[in-house]
C-alpha cells in the first residue's frame, strides 16, 4: 500500500467533515507540507499522520478501511476468517481459508499469513489422522521462531493459542506462562476479548489428552466464566463439551448425560453438524470407557 496516497484519503475525509486544513494540521506539520501530503506528493513520518487522524476523529484502523475502498486489508480479512473458524472440525472453512491465502499476492504475504498456512495444514492433518506427532512437525518452525522473541504481539499469541497443545510438556509449560504474560498486555485491545478463553480451552484439551483431565477443572471454570461474560456461544459450547468429559472423569454420569443432551439440542439449533459429530464421537468414547 503506497503511504503517499494516505494524504489523498485524508483530504477526502477532511472535506466530507467540512474541516479546514489549518484545523487538521496546525502545530503538526507546515502548511506547505500538508498541501503536498494531501496531493499525494509526499509522505510525512507516521508520528505526524496519527495526530492528524486524532484531530479529525478517526482511528487508524478505520482510516485504513476507508483508504482501502471500504474493504479490509488481505491480512485483516484472513485474520477474521481464522478467528471465525471456531474449531478444527470445520474442515470446509479451513480449506476455504487456505484458498483465500493462496489468492494473496506473494508480495503481500506477511509472516502471519506464512504461519497461518502451517497452522491450517496442521489442523487438517490432526482432524484426519488424530496425530499430535504429524501436526506438531508441521507447526514446529513457528515455535522455533517465537521462542526467540522477547515480546509476542497479538497475532503471535493468536497463532500459539491455537497450536500449543500439540507440543510436549516442557514446551507447553513455557508457552503457557509466556502467553498468559503477553495476553495480559492485550486485555484492553478490542480484538483480543476471547483470546484468554481460547488459551484456557486448549489447555483443558491438552490436559485431557494426556490423562490429566481432573487437573483441568479450575481452567475450565475460568473458561466458562469468560464465555458467559463475553456472551460467546461458540466458546461456551466448547467449554461445556469439555465439562462433560470432566464430569465423566469425576463419576458424575447423570449430570454429564443431562449436559450432553442440552449440548446436542443446541448444536442442532445452531446447525453445527460437524461439531455435533465430533462431540458424539467423544461422548461414545468416554462413555464406553466408563460404561455410562
Residue with cell 498468559: 180
Instruction: Round to whole Å and give the CA distance between 249 and 243.
Output: 10
pLDDT for residue 89:
81
Mean pLDDT of the chain: 90
Instruction: Provide the CB-side half-sphere exposure for 138 (13 A, CA).
Output: 20
Q: For residue range 121-133, list pLDDT tens digits in order.
A: 999 999 898 888 9
Grid coordinates given for 46: 507516521
Mean pLDDT of 144-165: 92
- Give 35's Cβ-side CA count (13 Å radius): 3
pLDDT over 70 (residue 227): yes
In this predicted model, what pLDDT tens digit does every residue of 22-34 receive, in sequence order? Answer: 999 999 999 999 9
Distance (Å, whole) CA 99 – CA 60 = 29
What is the distance between the alpha carbons of residues 119 and 98, in angstroms, rounded to a whole number? 10
**Quick one: pLDDT at residue 177?**
85
pLDDT digits (tens, 9 = 90+) for 281-292: 889 988 887 654
Cell of 263: 449440548
Judge if pTM exceeds 0.85. Answer: no
Residues 6+ apart with CB under 8 A from 104: 74, 78, 113
Domains of the chain: 3-67 (1.10.260.40)
Amino acid at each position: 500500500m503506497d503511504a503517499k496516497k494516505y494524504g489523498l484519503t485524508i483530504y477526502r475525509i477532511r472535506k466530507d467533515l467540512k474541516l479546514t486544513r489549518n484545523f487538521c494540521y496546525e502545530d503538526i506539520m507546515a502548511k506547505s507540507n500538508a498541501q503536498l501530503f494531501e496531493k499525494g506528493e509526499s509522505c510525512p513520518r507516521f508520528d505526524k499522520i496519527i495526530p492528524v487522524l486524532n484531530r479529525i476523529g478517526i482511528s487508524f484502523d478505520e482510516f485504513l478501511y476507508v483508504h482501502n475502498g471500504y474493504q479490509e486489508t488481505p491480512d485483516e480479512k484472513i485474520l477474521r476468517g481464522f478467528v471465525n473458524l471456531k474449531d478444527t472440525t470445520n474442515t470446509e472453512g479451513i480449506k476455504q481459508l487456505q484458498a483465500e491465502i493462496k489468492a494473496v499476492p506473494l508480495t503481500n504475504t506477511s509472516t502471519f499469513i506464512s504461519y497461518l498456512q502451517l497452522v491450517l495444514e496442521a489442523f487438517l492433518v490432526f482432524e484426519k489422522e488424530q496425530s499430535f506427532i504429524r501436526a506438531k512437525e508441521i507447526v514446529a518452525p513457528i515455535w522455533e521462531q517465537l521462542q526467540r522473541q522477547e515480546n509476542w504481539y497479538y497475532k503471535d499469541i493468536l497463532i500459539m493459542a491455537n497450536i500449543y497443545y500439540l507440543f510436549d510438556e516442557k514446551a507447553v509449560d513455557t508457552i503457557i506462562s509466556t502467553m498468559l504474560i503477553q495476553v495480559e498486555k492485550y486485555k484492553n485491545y478490542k480484538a483480543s476479548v476471547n483470546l484468554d478463553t481460547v488459551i484456557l480451552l486448549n489447555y483443558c484439551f491438552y490436559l485431557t489428552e494426556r490423562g490429566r483431565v481432573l487437573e483441568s477443572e479450575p481452567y475450565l471454570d475460568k473458561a466458562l466464566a469468560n464465555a458467559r461474560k463475553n456472551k460467546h456461544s461458540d466458546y461456551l459450547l466448547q467449554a461445556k463439551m469439555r465439562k462433560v468429559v470432566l464430569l465423566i472423569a469425576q463419576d458424575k454420569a447423570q449430570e454429564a448425560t443431562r449436559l450432553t443432551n442440552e449440548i446436542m439440542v443446541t448444536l442442532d439449533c445452531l446447525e453445527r453438524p460437524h461439531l455435533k459429530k465430533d462431540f458424539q464421537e467423544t461422548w461414545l468414547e468416554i462413555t464406553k470407557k466408563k460404561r455410562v
